[in-house]
Structure 1
Amino acid sequence: MKKVALLRGVTPVGQNRIPKMTYLVEILTEAGLENVKTYIQSGNIVFETYLADNAICTLIHDTIKEKIGADLSVVLKEQPQLTTAIIENPFDESYDVSRVHLVFTNDQFSQDKLADLLETDFGDEILRAGSECLYLYLPREAKKKRLNTNYLEKQLHITATMRKLRSVSRLSQM
C-alpha cells in the first residue's frame, strides 16, 4: 500500500534539519520501507509498506532520531486521502492558489472545538474544514497572521503539519 509520511517540524538549519533527502531515502529503505521517494526538503516521503500505521510512524520517527538526530512528528496519509483533500479544496480560482495551505493530522479532535474555530473571525485569513484536512487561506496582506499550525495544535489539542496545495497535489501523483 502506498503511503505518504509528512514530517512535522523539519527546519532548514538546526537540530531538526535533514541534511540530504537521499540519505533519508537510504535509511528508511534500510529500515524496511519499499520504493521510498522524497519530495522537496521539508520532509515529504512516499513509500510502500504493509506495516500498520502506528508501526510505520514509530519506525520513521525512531530511524530519523537515531540516524540523523532530528525529533520529528510523523503524520501519515494514504495517497487517496491526499487526492480527496485536493478535490475538496474549498478555495476556487478566485483565490491565489499559492496561498492555500492544507493542515493534516493523525489525531482525533473535538468537533465542537472545530465548530467554534470555524465561526471565529480571522480577518483576511480563512479556515475551512474538509473530510481529510483543514484548509487555510493565508493572503500575503493579512494583518495578524493568527492561523498557523501551532495555533491549530493548541486549540484542537493535536499534532499537525501544513503543506501548500501544490505540494499535496504533487505528493498525490507520486
Structure 2
Amino acid sequence: MPRKSEPPPKVFVALLRGINVGGKNMIRMSALKESFEGMGFGDVTTYINSGNVVFRTQEGDARKLERDIEGVLSKEHGLDCKVVVRSFAEMAGLLKSLPETWDGDPLRKYNVIFLRHSVDDENILNELEPEGEVEQVVYLPGTLLWSARVSDIGRTSFHKLPGRKLFQEMTVRNTNTTRKLYELMKNLAGA
C-alpha cells in the first residue's frame, strides 16, 4: 500500500526576545542555527545578531513551536528568552497591511511590535495609552505598528514600555528587518 505523502513543510520565523542585548542571553547565531536544526527544522537561516530565525517544519501550531523552542534554548544554552513565531502567511498579511507611506519619512522611527498570544488583542491600545500627538500606533492582529518623530521618542508610550510587565510579552523589530525577514521567508516558500 503506498504511503500518503506529507504536505510540504510550512515556513516560519522565530523572533527571540532579548538575546544578545546588554551582555544578557548571549548566543552565537551559528549555535542558534544548530539548535534549530537539532529540533528537526529544515532550511534554517538566521538574520542579524538579534535572534531572527527562518525555518521549515511540518508542525503547524505556532504556540507549540514557541514552547518547544523556548524549552530547547533554555536547556541547551541557559537562555531565558521568550519567542514569538509567525507563519509565512501571517508575515505576508502583515506586509500587505503596511500603509504605503509606512517608513517613508527619514525624520521618523518605524517599528513593528510582535505580540505574544497572551496580549494579542486590540484592547492593548487602551493599556498602552499612546500619545496621539507624538506617536502613531496601529493594531493589526499579532502586531502593533509604531512610529514617532525621532525628536519625540522620549515622550512616547513606547519609550515608557521597558519598565512595564507588558513589555515582556512583545518583541520589536524595525520595519527594514521585518521586510527582510519576509523576503527570506518568501524565498524559502518559493512564493
What range describes the TM-score normalised by the shorter chain of this pair? 0.7 to 0.9
Q: What is residue 102 of structure 1 aligned with on the other side?
A: 112
Residues 25, 79 of structure 2: 8 Å contact kept: yes
Matched, 1:166 2:176: yes
Residues 127, 134 of structure 1: 8 Å contact kept: yes
Q: What is residue 82 of structure 2 aligned with on the other side?
A: 73
The TM-score with structure 1 as length reference comes to 0.82
Residues 120, 141 of structure 2: 8 Å contact kept: no
Residues 17, 170 of structure 2: 8 Å contact kept: yes
Unpaired runs of at least 5, structure 2: 1-9, 185-191
| One-letter identity of the residue aligned with 2:101 | D
Matched, 1:4 2:13: yes
| One-letter identity of the residue aligned with 1:96 | P
| Higher relative helix content | 2
- Report the alpha carbon displacement of residue 166 of structure 1 after superposing the two structures with TM: 0.7
Closer/same/farther in 2, CA of residues 96 and 60 from structure 1, 3 Å limit: same
- Report the alpha carbon displacement of residue 80 of structure 1 after superposing the two structures with TM: 2.3
Identity %: 23
Closer/same/farther in 2, CA of residues 146 and 53 from structure 1, 3 Å limit: same
Q: What is residue 150 of structure 2 aligned with on the other side?
A: 140
Q: What is residue 46 of structure 1 aligned with on the other side?
A: 54
Pick which of 148-157 and 33-42 moved more: 148-157
Q: What is residue 125 of structure 1 aligned with on the other side?
A: 135
SS at match of 1:32: coil
Q: What is residue 111 of structure 1 aligned with on the other side?
A: 122
SS at match of 1:71: coil
| One-letter identity of the residue aligned with 2:158 | N
Closer/same/farther in 2, CA of residues 150 and 109 from structure 1, 3 Å limit: farther
- Report the alpha carbon displacement of residue 142 of structure 1 after superposing the two structures with TM: 0.9
Closer/same/farther in 2, CA of residues 97 and 39 from structure 1, 3 Å limit: farther
Matched, 1:35 2:35: no
Aligned length: 172
| One-letter identity of the residue aligned with 2:175 | L
Instruction: Compare CA radii of gyration and give the structure with the larger one.
Output: 2
Residues 33, 46 of structure 2: 8 Å contact kept: yes
The separation in 2 between residues aligned to 1:117 and 1:91, in whole angstroms, is 27
Unpaired runs of at least 5, structure 1: none
SS at match of 2:150: coil
Spell out, residue by residue over 1:136-165, the C-alpha distance to the aligned partner (whole angstroms, 9 max, x if none): 103221152433387299586871111111
SS at match of 2:149: coil
Closer/same/farther in 2, CA of residues 167 and 152 from structure 1, 3 Å limit: same
Closer/same/farther in 2, CA of residues 55 and 159 from structure 1, 3 Å limit: same
| One-letter identity of the residue aligned with 2:182 | S
